[in-house]
Homo-oligomer: A and B are copies of this chain.
Amino acid sequence: MTPAPTKRTQIHRHPERGMDDPATIGSILDEALTCTVAWVDEQGRPRALPTIQARVGQTLYLHGSRAARAWKAAASGAEVCVVATIIDELVLARTSPHHSMNYRSVVVYGTAREVTDPAELRAAARAITRHVVPGREDDAIEPREADWRETLILGMPLTEASAKVRTGPPNDDPGDLDADVWAGTMPLRIVADPPRPAPDLKPGIAEPSYLRDFRRP
């Protein structure tokens, strides 16, 4: 299903960077470690906070705390806007206003629901663990009944979503190409340093291989 382009998901600035195919939207949501969730509070004012997401098909799951006000509002049907951003390269142009980043970002609009079905809750919790470290979901102890008194998972459909992607070298004006200023891009990457065992880790437990395999993307 291709998300319907709506007035909100239409890209006004640099429309050529807009991408609405579910594969692009999905891959960005999968790769970004975290996202930012925005909502409107009771006074009609903007609020936002960071959280962890996971995608299962065309559903986006968000991990929340029952103590946080955002999740109360969102779980009771308030509209939310979710933004995920990945920075791939810094773009250094000759002129400062042409500086940019090669990025991939997604904006999702919609109404979330609290996931309550036990099978969906279990699958969503596994997806959130897997989102951060693939393989970990088969290793970690699954949530118990009591855990859901503190934590909640929201689900929202990926029906109103858009991606924006910039790639390539800087776009300086032709008249600036002769300037004596270096121009180009600098690729960035997230790397993992060696894992640090918990001080209270039971002796004899080996470091899991999925930690060595971790890479983003």
Contacts and interface: CB of A to CB of B under 8 A. Distances in A.
Interface of A: 8, 12-13, 33-34, 36, 38-41, 44-50, 52, 65, 67-69, 79-83, 85, 87, 89-90, 92-97, 99, 101, 103, 105, 107, 109, 125-126, 128-129, 132-133, 136-137, 139-144, 147, 150-151, 169-170, 172, 176-202, 205-208, 211, 214, 216
Given A38-B48, A83-B48, A107-B48, A94 B185 contact: no
A41 to B, nearest CB: 8
B46 A87 contact: no
Contacts of A90: 132-133, 192
A206 B184 contact: no
The A contact surface, by secondary structure, is mixed
A101 B52 contact: yes
When all copies of this chain in the complex are counted, the total is: 2
A81 B183 contact: no
Contacts of A193: 186-189
11 contacts: A8-B47, A44-B44, A49-B105, A95-B143, A96-B140, A141-B179, A178-B202, A181-B205, A185-B198, A186-B214, A188-B191
